[in-house]
Amino acid sequence: MPGGGIVLFGSIFTRLLVTYLLITVIVVSVLAFVASIIYKDAIFQAKRSALEAAAVSTAELTEAHLEGRTSAEALSSAVDALGVSTGAMIYSLRLDPEDFKNGSALTAAGIGDDYVVGSMEAILGGETVYLEKEYSDAFDMHVLFAGHPLRLDGQTIGAVLIFCPVSNIDRALSNLNLMLWLAAVAVILLSSPLIYLNARHISRPIREMEAMARRIAPIGDLKFASITQKDEIAMLSAAFYEMRQRLDEVEKMRRELIADVSHELRTPLTSISGFVQAILDGLIGPDEQEQYMKLIREESDRLIRLTSDLLELARIQSGNIRLDIEEIDLAAIAGAVAATEKITAHQKDITLAAMIPHGMTVMADGERLKQILLNLVGNALKYAPDCGNVTIKAKMDGAYAVIMVEDNGEGIPPEDLPYIFEKFYRSDKVCKPEDGSAGLGLSIAKHLVELQGGTIKAESTQGTGTVVSFTLPLAEPKA
Ligand SMILES: Nc1ncnc2c1ncn2[C@@H]1O[C@H](COP(=O)(O)OP(=O)(O)OP(=O)(O)O)[C@@H](O)[C@H]1O
Ligand SMILES: [Mg+2]
């Protein structure tokens, strides 16, 4: 997993997201379910009251008519109105109670269902009966049924029977359920972005801390042995562990650097101090003094070069240099380097040549490229024998240019070859103390090449020579 990436499954982010979503879905579903049950009960309760009231009203209206207080038309229209308002069929029957009880009268009226016949005794006994969702053969549907006795002069003379189809209520109920579930889905959908943001809000600082730790310890995959989980906190602690190791390494490097630098400074400073002391003590005659002054000057120059190289290396390593990458003509740069080093080459009778194919261009910082080449050519001139050859060459390799600096010097011993790009590393077999070498040149060159997107390597055969080659991205060929 690349640094700072999200571990999707098993991450805290996913777990928070899934848990919040599940809780929301469960809570909303339970609420919707309870609401639908409560509403259904309320609807049936209201219907029961309405049907019982309609039965009582119809009985009272019929009684008023039988007592001659209202006309038949008034009764009929009042009962019709009740039927329409309740959505029910209303029967007001005046018959012999015995016929009622055995059901023959009801069968004759087309409403002889068992539950009706079964309820008659109670109704005629003076009770109001209510039955819910009975299947009626007569109407071929489920109905709500209400019955109420019909009385005249204190005598039960018949019954009011009301049948209300359940399908009306069911339709209303399923509409309501649909609305409830749609609302539930809407709540879940609307809360999802909030849940997502919240989960991210909680897990983000952890991931940021991990990324921060990784920046300090830029390692590939986390190798922390005890990672069993792959969530952000495990990754964070692993990143901190790696960071700690990296900091230990940095601390070790810092100590080594201080030791190396003090060692490097010590030798020239000891010489300078020794020469000056000798002059002060009068051990050196006036005729020799100039020669010693020259030595002191050389040692001071070496110190100046060493400190400026160290500063340069520190700047490059801390990434504190600005690269000005542009299209660079390799032949021109190599020619300029060869011209700069011409005098040094001439002093050793070395043939220095730049043989770069015409028109080869790379994407690089011109000054830095020159600095790399000066370092490599400087080494080649330093380590090639008198009357030797030093050549700067180049070839193409895919999207890269390979630039080579060849010499026919003594070569680098195989045991030293892996270390020559490390700072302060010098091969004892090749270097002479009077070279004034610090062993920083190749280290600087390597950092500069890598900053410009290339790689550097050295091949050497002892006794035959050395080739130090580096790559740089080729410039896009112009259309
Ligand atoms: N062309 C070469 N032939 C033989 N040995 C080489 C060559 N180039 C580099 N080396 C070896 O690699 C070592 C490291 O090279 P590098 O340029 O880093 O340091 P230096 O030349 O010794 O010192 P500086 O470049 O700091 O003056 C050298 O000391 C030398 O031993
Ligand atoms: Mg060098």
CATH number for the domain that contains residue 265: 1.10.287.130
Half-sphere CA count of 43, side-chain side, radius 13 A = 18
Strand partners, 340: none
* Same-domain status, 275 and 126: no
pLDDT, tens digit, 9 for 90 and up, residues 338-373: 999 999 999 999 999 999 999 999 999 999 999 999
Ligand 1 site residues (CB inside 6 A) read 309, 379-380, 383, 407, 409, 412, 420, 425-427, 430-431, 437-443, 466
Question: CA-to-CA distance for 21 and 29, rounded, in angstroms?
Answer: 12
Residue 27 forms part of a structural domain? yes
- Report which residue type is found at 80: D
Q: Ligand 1, residue 405: give the atom nearest the CA.
A: 1
Closest ligand 1 atom to residue 428 Cα is 31
The residue whose CA has the least distance to atom 5 of ligand 1 is 412
* Ligand 1 atom 13 nearest Cα: 426
- Give yes or no: residues 309 and 408 share one domain: no
- Distance of CA 458 from the midpoint of ligand 2 (Å): 13
C-alpha 436 to ligand 1 mean position (Å):
11
Task: Return the best residue to mutate from 305, 442, 444, 461 for the ligand 1 pocket (most ligand atoms within 8 A of CB).
Answer: 442
Number of neighbours of residue 410 by Cβ within 10 angstroms: 19
Neighbours of 128 (CB within 10 A): 17
Q: Which atom of ligand 1 is nearest to the CA of 427?
A: 31
Note the ligand closest to the C-alpha atom of 437. Answer: 1
Does residue 192 form part of some domain? yes
Indicate the SS3 state at residue 467.
Answer: strand
Q: Does 224 fall in a domain?
A: no
Of 316, 405, 422, 426, the residue with max ligand 1 atoms within 8 A of its CB, to mutate for a pocket test, comes to 426
Contact indicator for 94, 156 with CB cutoff of 8 Å: no
pLDDT of residue 220: 52
Question: At which of 295, 316, 337 does a domain end?
Answer: 316
Q: Write down the pLDDT at residue 225.
A: 47
Cα 2 to middle of ligand 2, angstroms: 37
Q: Kindly state whether residues 33 and 179 are assigned to the same domain.
A: yes
Same domain, 179 and 282: no
Which ligand has the minimum distance to the alpha carbon of residue 440? 1
Does 388 lie in the same domain as 257? no
Which pLDDT score, from 0 to 100, does residue 138 have? 79
Q: Both 294 and 362 in a single domain?
A: no
Residue 440 forms part of a structural domain: yes
The DSSP code sequence of 44-90 is: HHHHHHHHHHHHHHHHHHHHHHHTTSS-HHHHHHHHHHHHHHHT-EE
CB 427 within 8 A of CB 411: no
CB distance 213 to 242 below 8 Å:
yes
Ligand 1: atom nearest CA of 423 is 18
Ligand nearest to the CA of 420: 1
- What total number of domains does the chain contain? 3
The domain boundary, picked from 176, 211, 246, lies at 211
Q: How many angstroms does the Cα of residue 138 sit away from the middle of ligand 1?
A: 113
Instruction: Name the closest ligand to CA 383.
Output: 1
Q: Which residues does the chain have with pLDDT short of 50?
A: 1-7, 225
Strand positions, DSSP E, 221-367: 326-329, 351-355, 361-364
The predicted pLDDT at position 447 comes to 94
59 within 8 A of 93, measured Cβ to Cβ: no
Indicate whether 451 belongs to any domain: yes
Do 158 and 97 reside in the same domain of the chain? yes
pLDDT at 429: 60
Nearest atom in ligand 1 to 430's CA: 31
Buried b (16+ CB within 10 A) or exposed e, 270-280: ebbeebeeebe
Nearest ligand (C-alpha, residue 415): 1
341 CA distance to ligand 1 middle (Å): 16
Q: By residue range, what is the domain housing residue 437? A: 324-473
333 and 424 together in one domain: yes
- For residues 281 and 380, membership in a common domain is answered with no
| DSSP symbols for 345-369 | HHHTT-EEEEE--TT-EEEE-HHHH
Orientation angle between helical segments 441-451 and 366-383, nearest 10 degrees: 150
The region, left, alpha or beta by phi > 0 then psi within -120 to 50, assigned to residue 154 is left
Q: Which of 304, 308, 379 for mutating ligand 1's site (highest number of atoms within 8 Å of CB)?
A: 379
The alpha carbons of the chain give a radius of gyration, in whole angstroms, of 52
Q: Where are the beta strands (DSSP E) in 342-455?
A: 351-355, 361-364, 389-397, 400-407
Cα(384) to ligand 1 centroid in Å equals: 11
Q: How remote is the CA of residue 390 from the centroid of ligand 1, in Å? A: 15
pLDDT in tens, 468-477: 999 999 997 6
pLDDT of the residue at 431: 57
**pLDDT, tens digit (0-9, with 9 covering 90-100), for 89-106:** 999 888 776 776 677 777
Measured by CA distance, the residue closest to atom 20 of ligand 1 is 439
Q: Which amino acid is at 238?
A: A
Q: Same domain for 430 and 346? A: yes
227 domain-assigned: no
129-136 and 89-94 strand pairing: unpaired
Q: Are residues 180 and 328 in the same domain?
A: no
* Distance in angstroms (rounded) separating the CA atoms of residues 168 and 461: 101
